[in-house]
Amino acid sequence: MSVLKLAVPTPLHTLFDYLPPAGSAEEALQPGVRVQVPFGRRKLTAYLVSHSATSDLEPAALKAADTLLDPQPLISPGIVALCNWASEYYQHPPGEVFQAAFPRLLRDGKAHRCNTVAGWELTTRGKGLPEGALARSPKQAQALAMLQREDQVSGAQLRRAGLGSAILKALETKGLAQRCEIQPGIASPVAREPLRPGPEQRAVLSAIAAAGDGFNCHLLEGVTGSGKTEIYLQCIAECLASGRQALVLIPEIGLTPQTVARFSQRFNAEITTLHSGLGDAERYRAWEAARSGSAHIVIGTRSAVFTSLARPGLIVVDEEHDQSFKQQDGFRYSARDVAVKRAQIENCPIILGSATPSLESLHNALQGRYIHHRMQQRAGNSQMPALEAVDIRKAPLQAGLSPTLLEAMQHCLESGQQVLLFLNRRGYAPTLQCHDCGWIAECDHCDARLTLHRRQRQLRCHHCGVSQPLRQRCPSCHSEQLLATGLGTEQTEEWLRRHFSRWPMYRVDSDSMRGRESMQALVEQIHGGDPCILLGTQMLTKGHHFPAVALVGIIDMDSMLFSTDFRGEERAAQLLTQVAGRAGRDEVPGRVLLQTHHPDNPTITAMLTQDYHHQAMAMLARRREATMPPLGYLLIARSDCTDAAAGEQFLNRLREMAQPHLPAGVNVIGPLPAPMQRRAGRFRSQLLVHTCDRRLSQLAARRLVQEAQKLRAGGNLSWSLDVDPQDVF
Ligand SMILES: Nc1ncnc2c1ncn2[C@@H]1O[C@H](COP(=O)(O)OP(=O)(O)OP(=O)(O)O)[C@@H](O)[C@H]1O
Ligand SMILES: [Zn+2]
């Protein structure tokens, strides 16, 4: 008897046993094929993981799968292995993990169709003809010559050459040509002239080449503007030349148009993009191009890491430190870490690139697990910008801007350059308060204040999305003295529009930049190089290359200090280095002004006196002392419930049940309320598990999930386990 072990998309942490569908051939049942199964009263699309000779179920209880949906697996054995690994490592239900490897239409059980194009090729007989044959019918001779030159030619290509189907049919009748299906773009891609690498780039390129095309993880730590993208491009050119595909992961959708443009300028190749902005049909087509091998380069955000490739040859993770690589709900995985595992499984090299590498990757590089490459100079003739703190204690601020910053802006704009201002808070003001009684506008569903959005005359919660009309009076004492306190981008924008009206001003945050097109249009404007003011949140900082920006102003540096999370200082240093790195990327030298009330704060002095690498080394030493990641391992079990007490009770029970099975060295802390305990009307608590050993951490993760499943969380309580969480407090 053969029993199928299936990953069925349910929240259960197990594979399910089914008998093969009636009449299905044994050899068709390969890992990775989709199978439709009866599940309760529903029909679900499941994925075959493995076979077994036996089942723990009684033979009578074993159901047969309904139908085999694919004649052969649509995902490669590497992706099957990757999903199995991820399900185990992240302790996430296998069915949901396998879903990540398929586009929605296929998850829903739709039949698979290739993106093929109808075309023609020569038969064996046709191939045997000498060049210049069929001279008596010139059109047929022309078609023959074309088919001899290129193995396969699409119908459209032939028609463009004036060769209609009648001519091809004539060749078919003579037994010289036959119809075929061609995968578009399969022709070999051509790389256009690369830039001449500088000395540092040359060293990196030859070190990467020397490591070979088997698995190796390269950490490319290169200061902002050092030309990391050029390294990716040249490595991709090598990969394509050897007939393989490259997968490039980037942090955010906002970056796609620019990145894709840089790649398509360099390569005459099929480039496909995968990101959350695609509709189901588009996503399916892009996925199919990657899977079938017709796309040479696949560029995508987080979830693209699970996309099957026909001939994987290289993986690049750009801005590898970026938090958006971590999925924060449902299947909580780190796309960067999954990518490294994938490269190992597929036995291909991977490049993790950043000016501000995560402490995890840096640690791995220092331990010798990754090959470490550094570039400390900017590419071409540009220099690293100069950083200065602006002490704003007692300074008269206008919309958050000090006289020093205003003067620098004026000077920069008048000399024809662009200014970039960074303020990581959207809206007009983060707080609305009654001056007479002290009432503060708070969200009814979250432990959070409402942000004032003045233009829309709304109060909005940035955590649950709820909004309400702006009130005229305090609901508590009816006073009209409502004060907007604190500063958001909308407020600074309003002021700048009045006082710097000579220059165009662009606000870039998730309120003003809805959709990919708006960002793309703006990027083009900025590249035009005319003087202007850019004001934005971190959306503006990520990886953009704006050659004309000469001044960067960090309006509220202090909001980046004093985080309680253990990753707080790492994030602040990364963000600041990235923002500062937008300045002076061309010939004009850059200047960065940091406005602060705490000029002597150690984070600020470190920023001013050391580069990111040195700060990171000091942070790593502190992590080592505290045995925190990457020198310790964390898990968080979370509960989420409309009833605060029930959630905490659940975690208490979980702790009691798991504790006796946990070996020494596993420390369980909590349950404690989550940092923002109430969010969108639900109360969140958490249990923190700390160990100094990855094996122990994995053991604890398995045990927690086992016990949590026994607890059968009922009603509206849900729980989750987060392996290698991003935030703790
Ligand atoms: N070898 C080279 N010769 C001349 N110019 C180069 C060279 N390499 C890169 N550049 C140019 O330097 C600029 C910065 O390069 P790039 O954007 O790749 O840097 P980066 O390291 O990716 O920066 P960031 O981390 O800030 O995104 C680009 O305009 C690029 O064209
Ligand atoms: Zn809310």
pLDDT tens digit string along 63-122?
Answer: 988 999 998 899 999 999 999 999 999 999 999 999 999 999 999 888 887 766 678 888
292 closest CA partner among 276, 267, 268, 270: 270
Q: Residue whose CA is closest, atom 30 of ligand 1?
A: 227
- Ligand closest to Cα of 547 equals 1
Buried b (16+ CB within 10 A) or exposed e, 517-547: eebbebbeebeeeebbbbbbbbbbbbbbbbb
pLDDT at position 543 is 63
Ligand nearest to the CA of 379: 1
Could you identify the residue written with the tokens 């649950």? Answer: 464
Cβ 196 under 6 angstroms from ligand 1: yes
What are the residues facing 720 on neighbouring strands?
A: 638
* 670 CB near ligand 1 (under 6 Å): no
In sequence order, what E strands does 13-166 have? 16-18, 34-39, 42-52, 67-68, 117-122, 152-154
Taking the CA atoms of 352, 358, 361 and 363 in sequence, report the sign of the dihedral they define: positive
State how far the Cα of 179 lies from the Cα of 171, in Å rounded to an integer.
Answer: 11
pLDDT for 515 equals 60
ipTM strictly over 0.95? yes
- State the pLDDT at residue 253: 62
Architecture of domain 386-426+488-625: 3-Layer(aba) Sandwich (3.40)
Which of 230, 233, 576 to mutate to test ligand 1, by most ligand atoms within 8 A of the CB atom? 230
pLDDT in tens, 342-359: 999 999 999 999 999 999
pTM over 0.90: no
Model pLDDT, residue 291: 93
**pLDDT value at position 53?**
84
Binding positions are 434, 437, 443, 446, 461, 464, 474, 477
Structure tokens at 691: 């160990």
Binding residues for Zn(2+): 434, 437, 443, 446, 461, 464, 474, 477
Distance 374 CA to ligand 1 centre (A): 14
Pairing mode, if any, of strands 682-691 and 633-641? Answer: antiparallel
pLDDT of residue 185: 57
Nearest CA to ligand 1 atom 3: 380
- At residue 520, the pLDDT reads 74
- Residue 454 makes CB contacts below 8 A (sequence gap 6+) with 428, 429, 470, 484, 490, 491, 494
* 3 state DSSP class of 165: helix
What pLDDT does residue 255 have? Answer: 57
Phi, psi of 85 (to 5 degrees): -65, -45
- Residue ranges, the chain, pLDDT below 70: 1, 115-117, 183-188, 253-256, 513-517, 543, 713, 729
Q: In angstroms, what is the span from residue 74 Cα to ligand 2's centroid? A: 42
671 upstream amide cis, omega within 30 of 0: yes
The fold for domain 3-107 equals: GIY-YIG endonuclease (3.40.1440)
pLDDT of residue 154: 77
CATH homologous superfamily for the domain 197-375: P-loop containing nucleotide triphosphate hydrolases (3.40.50.300)
Strand segments, DSSP code E, in 619-681 are 633-641, 667-679
Domains of the chain, residue spans? 3-107, 117-182, 197-375, 386-426+488-625, 633-723
Q: Do domains 197-375 and 386-426+488-625 have the same CATH topology?
A: yes
Q: Which fold has domain 633-723?
A: Alpha-Beta Plaits (3.30.70)
Out of 192, 200, 219, 226, give the residue to mutate to test ligand 1, the one with the largest number of ligand atoms within 8 Å of its CB: 226
Q: What is the Å distance from ligand 2's center to 540 Cα?
A: 25
